[in-house]
Amino acid sequence: MNILDNKVVILCGGRGTRIKKFRKKVPKPLIKIKNKTILQRIIKIYANQGFKNFLILTGYKNTSFNNFFVKGNLNIKFINTGIDTGTAERLYKIRRFIKNEDFFLTYGDTIGDFKLANVIKIKNKKFLISLTSFPFYLDKGIITCNKKKYLSGFFEKNYKFNFNSGYYFIKKEFFKILKKKDVSLENDVLPRLVKKNLVIISQELKNWLPIDTKDDYYLARRFIKY
């Protein structure tokens, strides 16, 4: 199967509580930045690399997506997975639409320079999920301590953290380990797979705009040129 035939799943069902008061009328993925919605921009990231099959998992204000449109010969299917549904729960609900296939996954509020070529480079390695990261450097020294308050770590300035920047490639065996009781992909499933060395970084993004708050929205407007 050509990797470009794999489905791209986009999580768009959350309430977006941190930005909700700022943009009340539509769910967060449908907020416009300049002349395009966040969701249109995310789909274009994939479509410009040749992807055509998209599953949009809605929930909060799901009827707002009824008039959604993206130019191009794309197959876009909307699936209402409920309002207060966790990320793992949404994936469990749509497993019959994925069937026995690898798939791509991202969030409906994350714009970044994801590149398929980086997934292809690692595709044959042993893992179940690959994800992208984004580097963050602290400009102050930090310490960590145990429960008894003894220091367990000391790190000087320019210590590097890696954020999960939210562009996943998930192999078909994923649904064999996904449990009905799993609520969160991030809190329930990924830690389980990390312990088994089944999660790998495919790419360190150079540009990443997670749009969680009003400040993020204005930052995106400043950086996005079209």
DSSP E strand stretches across 40-196: 53-58, 75-80, 103-107, 110-112, 129-137, 142-145, 151-155, 160-164, 167-170
- The answer to the question of residue 114 being in a domain is yes
List the domain range (segments joined by +) for residue 116.
3-134+162-223
Chain centroid, CA 161 distance in Å: 18
Report the pLDDT value the prediction gives residue 142, as an integer from 0 to 100: 84
- The answer to the question of residue 148 being in a domain is no
Report the pLDDT value the prediction gives residue 170, as an integer from 0 to 100: 98
Give the pLDDT mean for 92-110: 95
Q: How far apart are the first and last CA of the chain?
A: 34
- The answer to the question of residue 156 being in a domain is no
**What mean pLDDT, rounded, does the chain reach?**
93
Domains held by the chain: number:
1
Q: What digits encode the pLDDT tens for the residues 127-185?
A: 999 999 999 888 888 888 999 999 988 887 777 889 999 999 999 999 999 999 999 99
In our burial notation (b when 16+ CB lie closer than 10 A, e otherwise), range 202-218 reads bbebeebbbbeeeeebe
CATH code of the domain covering residue 77: 3.90.550.10
- The answer to the question of residue 151 being in a domain is no
Count the neighbouring beta carbons within 10 Å of the beta carbon of residue 198. Answer: 18
| Secondary element (H or E) of residue 138 | none
- The answer to the question of residue 142 being in a domain is no
Q: In which band, very low, low, confident or very high, does the pLDDT at 20 lie, cut at 50, 70 and 90?
A: low
- The answer to the question of residue 145 being in a domain is no
Is the pLDDT confidence value at 23 over 70? Answer: no
Report the pLDDT value the prediction gives residue 19, as an integer from 0 to 100: 80
Is the pLDDT confidence value at 84 over 90? Answer: yes
Where do we find the tokens 């794999």? 6
- The answer to the question of residue 144 being in a domain is no
Is the pLDDT confidence value at 11 over 90? Answer: yes
Q: What digits encode the pLDDT tens for the residues 104-140?
A: 999 999 999 999 999 999 999 999 999 999 998 888 8
- The answer to the question of residue 81 being in a domain is yes
14/137 Cα distance (integer angstroms) = 29
